[in-house]
Amino acid sequence: MRYIDLFNEIQLSRDYNFDPSTGANWRYRIDDKEKRVYLECQETKTLQDWLHNCNILPKTIKANGKKITVPMGVYQVAEVVYNHVKEDWINGKFPSDYVWYFTGWSQGGEVTGISGFLMQNIVRGHLIMYGTPKFNSSEKSIANLYSSFLSVKEFLYHDDWVENLNPFYKRGVTEDVIPQNPDYPENLDQRHRVYGHCKYAVEEF
pLDDT tens per residue across span 110-144:
999 999 999 998 998 999 887 787 777 788 888 89
Nearby residues of 202 by Cβ (< 8 Å), 6 or more positions away: 2
Residue 152: per-residue pLDDT: 85
Residue 160: per-residue pLDDT: 60
DSSP for 121-173? GT--EEEEEESPPP--SSHHHHHHHHTTSSEEEEE--TT-GGGGT-GGGSPPT
**Among residues of the chain, what percentage have pLDDT more than 90?**
35
Tell how far CA 156 is from the center of its chain.
Answer: 13
Distance in angstroms (rounded) separating the CA atoms of residues 150 and 164: 30
**Among residues of the chain, what percentage have pLDDT more than 70?**
68
* Residue 43 contacts residue 133 (beta carbons within 8 Å): no
> Which helix (H) or strand (E) element contains residue 104?
strand 99-105
93/50: higher pLDDT: 93
**pLDDT for 191 beyond 60:** no
pLDDT class of 205 with cuts at 50, 70, 90: very low
Which among 159, 132, 106, 154 is positioned nearest to 3, based on CA atoms?
154
Residue 45: per-residue pLDDT: 81
Residue 183: per-residue pLDDT: 42
Segment 76-99, tens digit of pLDDT: 999 999 999 999 999 999 999 999
Nearby residues of 178 by Cβ (< 8 Å), 6 or more positions away: 198
**Mean pLDDT, to the nearest integer, of 148-177?**
64
| Bridge pairing between strands 36-41 and 24-31 | antiparallel
Distance in angstroms (rounded) separating the CA atoms of residues 174 and 199: 21
Q: Which of 17-26, 96-105, 166-175: highest mean pLDDT?
A: 96-105
What is the reported pTM? 0.77
**pLDDT for 63 beyond 80:** yes
**pLDDT for 195 beyond 50:** no
